[in-house]
Amino acid sequence: MFSACFRTLTRHAKPRTSSTCNGYATEAATFETKPFRLHKLDSGPSTTVTVTRTDAVDMYKKMHMIRRLETAAGNLYKEKIIRGFCHLYSGQEACAVGMKQAMRPHDSIISAYRVHGWTYLMGVEPLGVLAELTGRQSGCARGKGGSMHMYTKNFYGGNGIVGAQVPLGAGVAFAAKYSGTDGVCLALYGDGAANQGQIFEVYNIAKLWDIPCIFVCENNGYGMGTSAERASASTQYYTRGDYVPGIWVDGMDVLAVREATQFAINHCTSGKGPMVMEMVTYRYSGHSMSDPGTSYRTREEVQEVRQTRDPITSFRERILTAELATSDELKKITNVQKVLQTEKDIVKRRFHSLSVSNLASETSSRNNETAQMSTLKKLLVV
């Protein structure tokens, strides 16, 4: 059923580009997205979206980095270097990158526990994320937060209690309104948390006080091992706010996500109160590393999404078709080792101070530490 839903989302957009130079468009390209579905809105985001070459390459680079980062985290977990809980974001990269592209410097975000990619997007270096995952002092939470509890400026985590971050997000948005910063807060949760009573309570208070909060339901089709259809009497999550306006978004299209988020920010900052966004997306891995993800869905379903709806490969095709960048340029981006070469000094400083004494299966010897550093670097570029 979920596979059928994704098949209906397949699009064949024909880009319109500006004049070309040196083999690629120097200005911008325009694409058509799938229509947005609206709830209690007279008009919504434009389905005609324009992206500059600079922004397109930047978004592609960020999505690819998140995918590599999650691959590295998965490998580290299998090697028992990362311990405890670990939830991967592979497949959902367009959601985070699209939202971040529309956010302003004074906007905030709070999420559940699938946040490695968000931590990177909000300013923590990839190796800083890995350092936190492996319980090292140089991690963004000094190695004490691990996979689920990462924080940095305007990023409030990383929260382990299902749905509990949503009221907190409304509080962050209320603080922005009270302080007069003109900021908004994006409060992210999954379809599995969407039936929580506290979410409906916070819809109510946010609408009563016109709090500038964007409630984002990342609907990846499954709450742990239960499909959305089995768990929810209504799977139209963008309508769940009742009196709160909502938008349905193709969460596998980074440009659609960016456009919808910009629309939502403008809505909130104009004094109209909160908004609900449902982003239909997909996760390739199981709910967590302890879940193989194959007992409640078929391998064929996952493979079909990878082949027809992958957010990175589909965006890459758009970039190349519109001649926003050449194939060689994109290959350089996908070579993570070269991308990280410009951060050589940062990498050296971070890993020079890493401690492995808190890894139960390791000793604190210099040889062991050097081996751990080497392993982390290799996993990031595999």
Q: What is the pLDDT of residues 131-143, one digit of tens each?
A: 999 998 889 999 9
Instruction: Give the other-Cβ count within 10 Å of 290's Cβ.
Output: 10
pTM of the complete model: 0.85
- Which CA distances in Å does 56 have to 62, 66, 382? 10, 16, 24
Q: What would the mean pLDDT of 217-233 be, rounded to a whole number? A: 95
CB-CB contact of 177 with 212 (8 Å): yes
Query: Does the pLDDT at position 228 exceed 80?
Result: yes
Query: Does the pLDDT at position 381 exceed 80?
Result: no
CB-CB contact of 212 with 273 (8 Å): yes
Q: What would the mean pLDDT of 305-331 be, rounded to a whole number? A: 94
| Per-residue pLDDT reduced to its tens digit, 268-317 | 999 999 999 999 999 999 899 988 898 999 999 999 999 999 999 999 99
Q: Which of 64, 48, 46 is nearest to 13 (CA)?
A: 48
Strands 28-32 and 48-52: antiparallel
Q: Tell me if residue 296 falls in helix, strand or coil.
A: coil
pLDDT band at 335 (very low <50, low <70, confident <90, very high): confident
Separation of alpha carbons 270 and 182, rounded Å:
9
Q: Which of 249, 228, 163, 172 is nearest to 200 (CA)?
A: 163
Compute φ and ψ for 213, nearest 5 degrees. Answer: -120, 135
Separation of alpha carbons 19 and 341, rounded Å:
33
* Between 251 and 329, residue with greater pLDDT: 251
